[in-house]
Amino acid sequence: MKDEDKPLLTIRGLHTLFHTLDGTVNAVDGVDLDVYLGETLGLVGESGCGKSVTALSILQLLRCPPAEIQGRILFKGINLLDLGREGIRKVRGNSISMIFQEPMTSLNPVLTIGEQIAEAIVLHQGADRREAWERAVEMLQMVQIPEPRARARDYPHKLSGGMRQRAMIAMALSCHPQLLLADEPSTALDVTIQAQIMNLVVLLKKEFDTSIVLITHNLGLIAEMASRVVVMYAGKVVEEAPVQDLFKEPLHPYTQGLLGSIPWIGRKLKTGRRQLQEIPGVVPSPLEMPKGCRFHPRCPRVMDICCEQEPPFVRLAEHRRVSCWLEAE
Amino acid sequence: MTEKEGHIKYAGQFRRSWAKLKRNRAALFGGVLLLAYLFTALFAPLLYPGNPSAPNLIKSLERPSLEHLLGTDELGRSIMGRIIYGSRVSLLIAVGVIAVGLLVGVPLGLVSGYYRGKVDFIIQRVTDTMLAFPGFLLALALVAVLGVGLKNTVISIGISMVPIYIRLVRGCTLSVREEVYVEAARAVGTQDRGILLRHILPNVMIPITIQTSLGMGMAILFAAGLGFLGIGVQPPTPEWGAMLGSGRVYLFCSPHVATFPGIAIFLAVLGFNLLGDGLRDALDPRFRI
């Protein structure tokens, strides 16, 4: 981990609210996190815990209204939330990029691959069409698409899922962003392709010295890729730790549950010490958040205080904090 | 989808639509009618060398003969010649009306569907108001305000066509703007203008194309209706609806005067409608097997 004094991205007190007809939903509720230069930060949690909304809030890709973003998102010391429409548009795809989960639908069916990659280059680097096209072909080569010149002229439906995700990565990295938000980049791909795509991301990260926020619920991927991990539950950060510490000694019962529920060969489905665990229940509805610790209805080690008061953050070391009453005592 | 399937799909994209259109006899018939119509309009001076508006009272209300294949009207003008030149007028009206409808309706529909909110609300309430009137009545009211003549006919029918395009384009935009590729385009910093023109518009072109074919038939019918009432294109310009209207008086003694322009209107509108329906079947992915 290349720790510099100042983080590249600092999020403080991020609240993302959705004003719906049923009431206001706190999809992200007071998230703090830092991303340092050149590191890969893993953001994990169940579906619906606010991981993707956090990423979308950074680039302000949520429609406001119904969404409302509060707090501070400092990128190289500048609050992105103060930039305004035109300001944030210049950041998107230029210094911060995003890749999405569904490679099958994230490319426009009526434009060629090359045109779509060239679009960002024309927008941000003031290149003319021909120059941008050459750069797009170069990018396709970098993401290891065979015959890049021919593929640039293809329409998305001619490419397989893995190839499309490569094209998406080419598009996201075409302006050499300093930060890449990867929202479950390999979830929709089959396992062999997943490995290829993630290896590619690692390679390009070194090449361009890009910091990555890797959003996933695949803990295996986190172990491979990330240097630090932030665990989210129901819109809040519950634990943050360097990756080794998290796997060696998870502190929050939710993190323990997540790690316990990874199936691996040799692990028995039934009784025994190495039994595959589950976390009972489901993520609470954002409209009816439980009082106190949000995890208490599902927590195996719940105490009286958990139902009453929200646990504070306990800072155990640099980059090691947990929000649980078990540690607070 | 595997890459192989992708190739098959690509090879078929246009060809399959074309094959489907070819199999549709009605659509083909419509296409042939339109080609004949277009040919007539483009080469009118070759098909009828004389002046279709010059009266020749000695020969008024003659039955069809070798000299005048479709007979003559009350002023002795060849009905054949007037139908041939009338095709130019109706084609001009159809193109003009669609141009007004597209130029005003498509941008408003895109903006309305993409931005939602207040803009959408205002545009949609105006559209509601316009759609509350039957299309022809709206055109009629607009003519009453603007006055008669070719230009005003085009403008008033064009305006009555605008709400149809707004609704159609807005509806399609609403679904396309939720696509991940639109979000991805925003994530690389594309401006709203670029998203609307490069990402959304091409994806709503198919319904616009279909509506354009159907709309042209409607425009011809509306123009003929206005002409029939005497508030459309003014004489001596040969216009099918006006010919029908003036021939009505002689319906019992010389029925050919009103009948032939009526057939011309019927065939042109039929052509556009058959082709429009065929295009919908061929291009609409929901009907794809």
pLDDT per residue as tens digits for the range A143-171: 888 898 989 988 888 888 888 888 988 88
- Chains A, B: CB contacts within 8 A come to 88
Would residue B61 count as lying in a domain?
no
Which of the four pLDDT bands, split at 50, 70 and 90, describes residue A316? confident
pLDDT score of B207 more than 80: yes
Would residue B57 count as lying in a domain?
no
Query: How far from each other are the two terminal CA atoms of chain B, in whole angstroms?
Result: 17
Two structure tokens written together for A46: 């169940």
* pLDDT value for B7: 45
For residue B197, the domain's CATH number is 1.10.3720.10
* pLDDT value for B6: 43
Q: How far is A113 from chain B (nearest CA, A)?
A: 12
A234-243, A266-275, B179-188, B279-288: which range is least confident on average? A266-275
How many helical (H) and strand (E) elements, i.e. helices and strands, does chain B have?
Answer: 12, 0
Two structure tokens written together for A152: 């640039």
Would residue A263 count as lying in a domain?
yes
Q: Does A293 touch chain B (CB under 8 A)?
A: no
* Residue that has been written with the tokens 């790690």 in this structure: A259
Q: Does B121 touch chain A (CB under 8 A)?
A: no
Would residue B164 count as lying in a domain?
yes
User: How many angstroms separate the most distant Cα atoms in chain B?
Assistant: 76
CA–CA separation, A12 and A317 (whole Å): 19
pLDDT score of A113 more than 70: yes
Nearest-CB residue to A107 (from B9, B181, B194):
B181
Q: Which residues of B touch A159 (CB under 8 A)?
A: 3, 6
Would residue B14 count as lying in a domain?
no
Would residue B198 count as lying in a domain?
yes
Q: How far is A97 from chain B (nearest CA, A)?
A: 6
Two structure tokens written together for A129: 């069409």
Would residue B59 count as lying in a domain?
no
DSSP reduced 3-state for B198: helix
A20-24, A35-39, B78-82: which range is least confident on average? A20-24
CB–CB contact B187 A160 (8 Å) = no
Which of the four pLDDT bands, split at 50, 70 and 90, describes residue A274? low
CB–CB contact B189 A109 (8 Å) = no
Sheet holding A211-216, edge to edge: A96-99, A179-183, A211-216, A40-44, A228-233, A236-242, A320-323, A313-317
What domain range is B102 assigned to?
Answer: 21-51+70-287
For residue A210, the domain's CATH number is 3.40.50.300
* pLDDT value for A46: 83
Which of the four pLDDT bands, split at 50, 70 and 90, describes residue B41? very high
Q: Does B183 touch chain A (CB under 8 A)?
A: yes
A118 touches A204 (CB < 8 A): no
The pTM for the full model equals 0.81
CB–CB contact B187 A92 (8 Å) = yes
Would residue B184 count as lying in a domain?
yes
A144-148, A209-213, B2-6, B13-17: which range is least confident on average? B2-6
What domain range is A230 assigned to?
Answer: 9-95+175-328
Q: How far is B257 from chain A (nearest CA, A)?
A: 51
In Å, how far from its chain's centre is CA B258?
A: 23
Would residue A79 count as lying in a domain?
yes
* pLDDT value for B1: 38
* pLDDT value for B4: 43
Would residue A283 count as lying in a domain?
yes
Percent of chain B scoring above 70 in pLDDT: 93
Q: Does A105 touch chain B (CB under 8 A)?
A: yes
Chain B, 200-229: which have a CB under 8 Å from a chain A CB? 202-203
pLDDT score of B139 more than 70: yes
Would residue A18 count as lying in a domain?
yes
Q: Which residues of B touch A123 (CB under 8 A)?
A: 188-191, 194
**Whether the predicted interface score ipTM is above 0.85:** no
pLDDT score of A2 more than 70: no
* pLDDT value for A329: 67
* Residue A323 main-chain phi, psi, to 5 deg: -115, 90
Q: Which amino acid type is present at position B134?
A: P
Would residue B204 count as lying in a domain?
yes
Q: Does A92 touch chain B (CB under 8 A)?
A: yes
CB–CB contact B184 A107 (8 Å) = yes
Percent of chain A scoring above 70 in pLDDT: 95
* Nearest residue of A to residue B204, measured between CA atoms: A110
Domain total in chain B: 1
Mean pLDDT of A95-124: 88
Domain total in chain A: 1
Which of the four pLDDT bands, split at 50, 70 and 90, describes residue A1? very low
Most confidently modeled range among B77-81, B109-113, B212-216: B109-113
